[in-house]
Structure 1
Amino acid sequence: MSSEFTKTLFFYFLLFLKLASSPALAFTYLGFGGANLSLDGISSIASNGLLQLTNTTFNMQGHAFHPAPFSFKSDPVGKPLSFSTTFVFAIVSKNPKLNGHGLAFVISATSNLSTASPTGYLGLFNPDNNGNQNNHIIAIELDTIQNPEFQDIDDNHVGIDINGLTSVSSRTACYYVGSSGSFQNLNLNSGEPMQVWVDFNSEEDMQLNVTLSPVRMPKPHQPLLSSTVNVSRVLLDSMYVGFSSATGNAPTSHYILGWSFAMNEERAEPLDYAKLPPLPLDDAKRGTSKKLTILLPLALCSLLLLVIAPIAFVVRRRFKYAELLEDWELEYGPHRFKYKDLFQATKGFKEKELLGVGGFGRVYRGVLSASNTEIAVKRVSHESGQGIKEFIAEILSIGQLRHRNIVQLLGYCRRRGELLLVYDFMPNGSLDKFLYDRTAPNLDWNGRFQIIRGVASGLLYLHEGWEQVVVHRDIKSSNILLDSEMNARLGDFGLAKLYDHGADPQTTHVVGTIGYIAPELGSTGKATTATDVFAYGAFLLEVACGRRPLEAEVPAEQVMLVDWVLDNWKKGEVLATTDRLLGNDYSEAEMEMVLKLGLLCSHPMAAARPSMRQVMQFLNGDAAPPELSLVQWSFSNQYRVNSSVTISTEIVSS
């Protein structure tokens, strides 16, 4: 007997022992009564066999795994095996208008996920291990929260996750209708049972298909997601299968009604819907009979209310959506939004739609139902008296600006004591999040440099490229918004002023944010292009150094960023001021140029600052910045304001 034959025989003997000791290659649960599942967290099995992963308890998680692992590899070479599964789930929210976190079907190297976060990580990961290649987790997420951190497409989507919650493929929840040849939307948070099929074919280019449909409907011919996924490095020889969910801050229950799974050439057995346990009745249905006995004696009163209610409804509705509309506003018709449309777009200005809060108002995300367009709505308090007409005229003039680095102002609405400004929606939010929020991804130098150039291009357009001069007056990182491709867009024109080219700008209140206000504003009160350049200089140093222009909790010599950078420049150690998060991964030549340009733009004397056209030439390499003079200038007194000038209460510490 040859040695090769002996080795082959020994290999198949070991394989036989392995298969003999491993669990069955398939299982089906029509309800989970008596099922030997591995449960943890707040997951439980009801008396009728319904698997409840989570209940309405805040910030909790639940897991349910098949107790024995499966072999996902066919041989020592490591080729993954095919598998298929189908399950019926339901997501029931105590308040249908508030989405809890979703649930996920999971293939994991371990059934112990107790270290996962019970909030935004679906009970799978935590901030420290999300995205770690050593997790060895494949998940099909049914996600009802849009989390920009994970680049979620919306708050109602299905995604394929590999070792982290940034999906390799995702799509809004929907199912294929064969008769119409199109996809029909589904609401994951509807409380209605739905069915998912997950099929992985290792023989056909590692194709992973995910299909979704309402319950009791045959499996659609076309999957919702179809993606080629190389799982060879993710799947280990022994893996567990199950489900995971987390509640977060919304009271939501996640249920699994039935589950079928099969390995290798087997196909997951279809589920018999008639044998699945029912979902629990909500409080309203549970108490129907009791309420009926109470309501019968009140039938006559109800009949009277039916007569009064329509009248009250109309009056209440008109009051709810009441707007301010004066004769002079009729000329702005195309730019005037209805309050009702904005109210519905933002889901009633719910806190979950809140994008941010600043000194000039609260900003909400919205979707206009008529066009399915995403918008950002800023609510600003105002007094409907003298000056509001001029303010709106000026705002709508700014709405005519068209530039790739400027957020488009779409229009406005007035209601009672507030003004609502409507902008294009920027999915990546504001730049300051990436500079200071340590939960956001670090922004590398190439990304920062492109943002710096983009803001300069937008400012050049405002100062020289439009029919009037536009002075922004509030340039800072929190007003730099980032689109889906991380391109910089200058936003928030609530303080902007316009004047004709060649004209002398009018004196006005000193407004802006401390740390970005040019020193001459205190004596002249005139906002000019040079005051914008000063703020841009502070912004340059902010992006390069990763800290705000003024900070209290630092050594005394570093409180004022511009003085600190200047001192280090004079000592020949200017690169010591760069953001530590960048490490050494940046161009020293570009960094020195940006820091030098930040100092030039921040010069205390307005006449010594470059124009934005010169700034663009420096950034594009078309001209070299002039050498810094080593005269002993200091910026420490630049924020002193003449006592005869009132600083607007709109100045906000960043």
Structure 2
Amino acid sequence: MSRARSMVSPPILLVIITVILVRAQRATSETTTTEFIFQGFKGNQSQFQLEGDSTIKSNGLLRLTDRKSNLAGTAFYNKPVRLLLETNRNSTNATRVRSFSTRFVFVIIPSSSSSGGFGFTFTLSPTTNRPNAGSAQYLGVLNKENNGDPRNHVFSVEFDTVQGSGDDTDKIGNDIGLNFNNRTSDFQEPVVYYQNDDPNKREDFELESGNPIQALLTYDGATQTLNVTVYPAKLGFKPTKPLISKQIPKLLDVVQEEMYVGFTAATGKGDQSSDHYVMGWSFSSVGENPIAATLDLSELPPPPATKRRGFSSQVIVLIVALSTVMLVMLVLLFFFVMYKKRLRQEETLEDWEIDHPRRFRYRDLYVATDGFKEAGVIGTGGFGTVYKGKLASSDLIAVKKIVPNSRQGVREFMAEIESLGRVRHRNLVNLQGWCKHRSDLLLIYDYIPNGSLDSLLYSVPRRSSAVLPWDARLEIAKGIASGLLYLHEEWEQMVVHRDVKPSNVLIESNMNPRLGDFGLARLYERGSMSETTGLVGTIGYMAPELARNGKPSDAFAFGVLLLERKPTDSGTFFLVDWVMDLHARGEILSAVDPRLGSDYDGREARVALAVGLLCCHQKPASRPSMRGVLKFLNGEEEVVEIDDEWGYSKSSRSDFGSNFVGYVSSSTSIPSSSSAFDTRIISTSHVTSGGYRKKCLFQYELDASYLFIHELRTSAYSTLN
């Protein structure tokens, strides 16, 4: 029995010894690590070694310095922290700095809005006080004599608030620095924090703001890396990217086996002083990756009120009174100036402004067009640019802005108001109003969604891949003729448009045409149409007799609109003669747009082409009126027989002869785009009958969309005699 007991005893003894050793090791570990948290410092005076100006306030704030000049204050936790750790790797004993983490919330309040200083530090020190430590740039850590001495064994994270001073080489100011036995930082970074949603986006802020700021310092002993994160406490989140993340192997040369952790601060002379407060503090060196406990901001003592140097109550009352009087005087002066300005404007109103009072406010048009930006441009004319706009009432408008400093532009502006200001017709663009603002002249129309006729049919690429059908083309022609009839015969005065062309015809969503751009229009009393003293219009649409007798013809321009289409190549034949030649040979339908194929009414096409020829007759008396044109197009009357000898030279028709046939047969080689341009003529001098020459007019390319003819390059009309 006794022998059995002796055999069991050794294992039991081994277990007991093991348990004792584990507990001893755990106890030893607990004594070599440190962990604490202070949610304010009230009642914890015994746990700190306070030196210099440092004190714990009755509300629990740890004040390092007040605003007096040349002060230093230190506050260290009174128990040492074991920061050196023995490691055994690959059977080799080594020493490294133990990992640790600390978190604290602080407030710095400058003595004035323009200056303060010098800052404070979080410091590892071999003692709880810093004997003979200097103020100002030495921050209560070192002095002039021992600055830079490796025997100091001091490491500081410096929260610097002064840009350079004395022998200081820290030139940034409002920065975080890492100091090793020296008040000069080995490494500095301006104070910022990084956004979590965009780690590359950095936000800067002031340390001396008077607002609570939170700092988190974490040192990883295994990688010798120190991470420093600083951010406003009110931010509500901790940035994941630290301000500083740097390996500091030289920390091992600084740290001794036992070190004290705490804070130091200092002020300078005069206004270079600040209040330095710590509101809460936590620290941990427990475990391989210690994290200091989170501070509950709601449990921390409130930060001190920011004290600003201000005026006495009597001075403040006086300033408020004087400011009120000045404000009242400025308001009265403003209304007086505006009243005088309005009186001057009313005294200088021109007659046409009184007769056409539908005036828009410039600021409303500026807002409606989004500041007249280029993205809102929907067209350009001879004297201005047209913008799309939207009024506050959600109504869409088109705003034509006349080119400033243009004398002819002012004339066009007034002509449109006089001619369009009162006319109303379903085939005429409706002028809503006008605006004159400094040098800007603006006309406001209804917005037409489909744009102009030429852009609808022949823009490259076209707005729609579908070809405009014959019925729509014919109705557009009738609508233009109806609008011209109203202007010529049915309104109270006779209006001659003088610039009829496809780019001035706007198409509504229901394909109803509206004739616009009345900048060259003239008003006449019935039966008193006089000669014009200027040559106006667009090349190719002006009647031949305009140079001889000065009388414009909307009928001629309408005929050109019917007969011609956008040119694609140069040529020497004359389009009207060519169509007339086809008519004489009974082949006039060969001139119909080939894109229509056979989808058109042959009888209506013959009538339309014949009407175009009549309107382009060289003899003005042989051209039909717009009322006659409508009767022809509506089939109410038969088209007048066109005589082959209708005024154009035979030689002009013989000029194109076989050349034209060759052009038509090679239609597949016609370019898909053209460099053609629209040339508008405005001359203030009278032009004699000999003023037109082929070299002057007929070599221009036309830029217009035409309803019924092949896409041909052509001259405007034959040489005038």
| TM-score, normalised by the number of residues in structure 2 | 0.43
Larger Rg: 2
